[in-house]
Structure 1
Amino acid sequence: MSTPPRHDTAATPARIGDIDVLRGFALLGILLVNAQMMAGPYTGTGGGPDASAVDRGAAWVVTALVATKFYLLFSFLFGYSFTLQQRSAERAAAAFAPRHLRRSAVLFLLGLAHAVLLYPGDILMTYASLGLMLFAFRTGLPRTVLRVAAGLLGAVAVLLLAYGLLVISTTEPVRPEDLAAVASDSVAGYRGGPGSVVMENVRLLPHALAGNLLFAADLLAAFLTGLAAGRWRALADLGRHRARMKRIIRRGLPIGLAGGVFMAVCSNGPLDNRWFYVGRAAGILTAPALTAAYACGLLLLVRTRAGRRIGDALAPAGRMSLTNYLTQSLVLALVFTGYGLGLYDRVGTAVVLAGCLVLYAAQLALSALLLRHTRYGPVEFLLRGATRGGLPRTHGATADDSRRAEDASAVL
């Protein structure tokens, strides 16, 4: 029988296995969304005007059930892990601010390299920047922090709704031929050689950063929610929260699914492209409910006899989530750009998503294999070393294993 996830106790802090399980699960959602962005200009909407019903349906389902849900889960875990890193610094009698600044700086540089070389839609630079804002809330009361998070969600939803209604009332739908003209530059750039790929990434980077800035309040709200949950040690002993988790599922699923379906209707049809921001406003308000339902459902599942195998499969990938996130982009770039096969805008959405499942399964297997021989993933090893001012050991037990374990090393 599999060993259940370990949790920290007052006497001996231990790595919280549920965080790794949730990160491993979130990697799949991030992959399904990012792959559509990297595969072609139309993949996220099911393809161009001549796309098949299967491709359109596949993109519609991903928008309804996946888009905007899993980056919230990563962001929540980022905020939760912030509290673990705080406690780790306190136990080591080390100043937390320099550690956090070094971690944020390295994370930003990794994100910049990721955006320029592989995928301009990188989120790491945004995480690093918002992480500095998270530091300002490190001593805030959890309930106060949650009120700020709720205010941020409400504010960004109202702004998106107002802008979306303005777009609907003052503009005409964008014609397919106009979209094709805009997309043609990207198609040529990503099908060119490596230099062409980099230049196209650089060209698109300001647009991607503007999009991240638009949803920065949403990300920060998730960070703050994770911070509050970490203060309460909500993931340390989930056995006492089973009834509450079941209520979250019962209430969150209908709200989140309704919002996801409406967002898909606005983004992928039958409503026209002018409804995009109205749909995103609905998504901002309802996605947290579906994300919470997903997370609670998974955490309850892995506590069953059959579900423990799922948890055991997800946890290693979650322990090295940053390595896996960057590896996903590398593989997708090799498949879809001039770095490798150059299949940009040549593969249907359904095939892209099927390929994602194959890649994800490979990552689960390789992560488990790697972590049998080492304590960290390659990128986590470097990031932890930069954070602590010295590279950690990778093999064998150390006297301070229990102190190090609670500090969840993956940052996503």
Structure 2
Amino acid sequence: MSGLHTSGRIAALDVLRGVAILGTLGTNIWIFTDPAGPGGFLRGASGYGEALLRMVSNGKFLALLSILFGIGLAVQHRSAVRRGQRWPGWYLWRSALLMVEGALHFVLIFEFDVLMFYALVSVLVAFVVGRGARAVRGWLIGAAVVHLAVVGVVTLGLLAGQASLDGGGLAIDTSGWWAHVQSRLDHVVALRLEAVFVLPLSTVLFLAGAVLLRAGALEDSARGHRLQRRLVWWGLGAGLPLNVLTTLAGGAWFAVDRYLCAPLVAFGLLGGITALVHRMRAEPGVLRRGVTSVGRAALSCYIGQNLIASVLCYRWGLDLVGRFGHLGVWFTVGMWAVVSALLLLGASWWMRRFHRGPVEAVWHWAYRAPQRRPAAV
């Protein structure tokens, strides 16, 4: 089938996932390297230079990851239909496992976890996708209208000075690992607010992923190439200049910048990276193999990057922020490069030896365990 490896895997999907994971680290690394801790990150950039550097990753790769999650959900639905299985059926067990995994990730490792709200959205989208293309379009449009309305209200509040982005003085204690855990639990409502805010956007992106898969956006075909060009034109040709403008416009335009312009750029990245992968006819080099490995072990690498960065940066770990945080953006970029290199090397080593990433292997066992039936005597 066009756009697939002989093994049945979509050719560009693992590369896209790998880019999305490393790009998401590009956003999160500012949280880990802020001298004031995770709460300090919410106060925003200290100047135009830092703002533009943050813009490179801010919101785009998380949006790309959401689109890819929707594509993966649609692939699961297509597989279930082909096999004559009931839908959503066991997919809901996947969502439940993802919720548990996200909760553990939030409590034990990272206060800005995305897995929990991915689990919530996946339940809704699974039922919508199962109802057909018309239902998908209706829910997509409805969720988009709700999201635009919420972004509009927040932006008006920021412009009028009735809202702020300082995190309400949020203080996260990183002096010890257990203190850090307790601090997350103490601020659980504040730390989960964004997850609630982006539920309509995540629904849009998940459903858009399902629509794009059905339309052939990942195919190495004439229709796939046309759609990829359109995504690049709108996402990068129109979305990127708008993203620069809203970034430079100041904090009052934060919601428009992160939750409208950045997702638009994500669609351009989807089209551009997919087109690039299809044009690479030569044997993959070291970098592409590494990115592909990160994509194949995306869940392990997402959790792993947050754990590694925590150990390197926080006071309960090596406290590199305390030693080198005065270097500013150079330290942040350096930390992103170091953690990315560790992910690329580690994922490449692991995936040469195993079929699944370590977290994926445990997750797959947990998913299959209740489906097994004892052999008849």
Same fold (TM over 0.5): yes
Q: Conserved in 2, the CA contact under 8 Å of 1:64 and 1:263?
A: no
Q: Distance in 1 between matches of 2:15 and 2:77?
A: 21
1:359 aligns with 2:339: yes
Q: Distance in 1 between matches of 2:264 and 2:107?
A: 34
Give 1:173 shift.
Answer: 7.3
Contact 2:216–2:224 (Cα < 8 Å) also in 1: no
Alpha carbons of 1:350 and 1:144: their partners in 2 closer, same or farther (altered >3 Å)? farther
Note if contact 1:137-1:145 (Cα within 8 Å) is conserved in structure 2: yes
Whichever residue aligns with residue 323 of structure 1, its letter is S
| SS at structure 1 position matched to 2:12 | helix
SS in 1 for 2:304: helix
Residue of structure 2 in register with 1:329 after alignment: 306
Verify: 1:290 aligned to 2:265, yes or no. Answer: yes
Structure 1 residue 328: deviation in Å?
0.6
Partner of 2:90, secondary structure, is helix
> Could you say which residue in structure 1 is the equivalent of 2:189?
206
Alignment match of 1:304 (pick from 261, 270, 280): 280
The answer to whether the Cα contact below 8 Å between 2:246 and 2:257 also exists between their aligned partners in 1 is: yes
Could you tell me how far apart the structure 2 residues matched to 1:194 and 1:100 are?
Answer: 34
1:122 is paired with a residue whose SS is: coil
Q: 1:241 to 1:17 in 2, by over 3 A?
A: closer
CA shift for structure 1 position 96? 4.2
The answer as to 2:4 corresponding to 1:7 is: yes
SS class of match (2:95) = helix
**Equivalent in the alignment of 2:157:** 166
> Which whole-Å CA distance do the structure 1 matches of 2:68 and 2:168 have between them?
40
Is contact 1:38-1:332 (8 Å) kept?
A: yes
Question: Is the CA contact 1:152–1:221 (under 8 Å) kept in the aligned structure 2?
Answer: yes
1:355 and 1:122 mapped to 2: Cα distance?
Answer: 20
3-state DSSP of counterpart to 1:67? coil
Alpha carbons 2:117, 2:199 under 8 Å: kept: yes
The structural deviation recorded for 1:388 is: 2.9
* Structure 2 residue runs without a partner (length 5+): 373-377
Give runs of aligned pairs for residues 310-389 of structure 1, distance below 5 A. 310-343=287-320, 347=325, 348-389=328-369
2 CA distance for matches of 1:355 and 1:63? 14
Number of aligned positions between the proteins: 362
Instruction: State the AA in 1 paired with 2:224.
Output: H
Higher mean C-alpha displacement, 194-203 vs 279-288: 279-288
Please tell me whether the aligned partners of residues 99 and 120 of structure 2 are also in contact (alpha carbons under 8 angstroms): yes
Determine if the alignment matches structure 1 residue 37 to structure 2 residue 12: no
Q: Percent identity?
A: 25
CA distance in 1, matches of 2:209, 2:275: 19
Q: CA deviation at 1:14?
A: 0.5
Match of 1:127 among 99, 102, 118: 118
Letter in 2 for 1:78: F
- Check the 8 A contact 2:218/2:274 in 1, yes or no: no
- Mean alpha-carbon deviation: is it higher for 282-291 or for 220-229? 282-291
Offset from partner CA, 1:62-96 (integer Å, 9 cap, x none): 44232111111111111111122223344555544
What letter corresponds to residue 301 of structure 1 in structure 2? L
Is the 2:23–2:57 contact (alpha carbons within 8 Å) kept by the matching residues of 1? yes
Pairing 1:252–2:235 present: yes
1:356 Cα deviation after fit: 0.9
Q: Deviations over 1:94-117 (max 9, x none)?
A: 544342122111111111111111
State the shift of 1:131 in Å.
Answer: 0.8
The structure-2 alpha-carbon separation of the partners of 1:204 and 1:352, relative to structure 1 and needing over 3 Å to count, comes to farther
Is 1:112 the counterpart of 2:103 in the alignment? yes
Distance 1:258 1:25 in 2: 21
1:330 deviates by: 0.5
**Which segment drifts farther, 233-242 or 312-321?**
233-242
What do residues 119-149 of structure 1 show as CA deviations (whole Å, max 9, x unaligned)? 1110101011111111221233335523532
Match of 2:375 in 1: none
Q: Which letter maps to 2:318?
A: L
| Equivalent in 123, 133, 139 of residue 148 of structure 1 | 139
Q: Does 1:64 align with 2:61?
A: no
Give the letter aligned to residue 235 of structure 1: L
C-alpha distance 238-208 of structure 1, shift in aligned 2 (>3 A): farther
| Distance in 2, Cα, partners of 1:306 & 1:351 | 36
Separation in structure 2 between the aligned mates of residue 151 and residue 285 of structure 1, nearest angstrom: 16
Do the aligned partners of residues 68 and 13 (structure 1) sit closer, same or farther apart at CA in structure 2, a change above 3 Å counting? same
Q: 1:83 aligns with which of 64, 69, 74?
A: 74
Deviates more, 1:104-113 or 1:343-352: 343-352
Query: Partners of 1:380 and 1:126 in 2: how far apart?
Result: 19
Distance 1:234 1:385, change over 3 A: farther
User: Cα offset for 1:258?
Assistant: 2.5
Deviation of residue 299 (structure 1)? 1.8
1:279 partnered with 2:266: no
Q: 1:196 aligns with which of 155, 172, 179?
A: 179
The 1:390/1:19 distance shift into structure 2, 3 A limit, reads farther
Structure 1 residues 245 and 234: CA distance shift in structure 2, 3 A? closer
Contact 1:319/1:377 (8 A) holds in 2:
yes
State the alpha-carbon separation in 2 of the partners of residues 143 and 256 from structure 1.
27
Q: Secondary structure at the match of 1:42?
A: helix
Map 1:232-271 onto structure 2 (within 5 A): 232-266=215-249, 271=250
1:281 CA displacement: 2.6
Moved more, 112-121 or 355-364: 355-364
Bigger relative contact order, structure 1 or 2, given CA contacts below 8 A and separation 6+? 1
Question: Normalising to structure 2: TM-score of the pair?
Answer: 0.85
C-alpha distance 180-67 of structure 1, shift in aligned 2 (>3 A): closer
Counterpart check, 1:182 vs 2:169 = yes
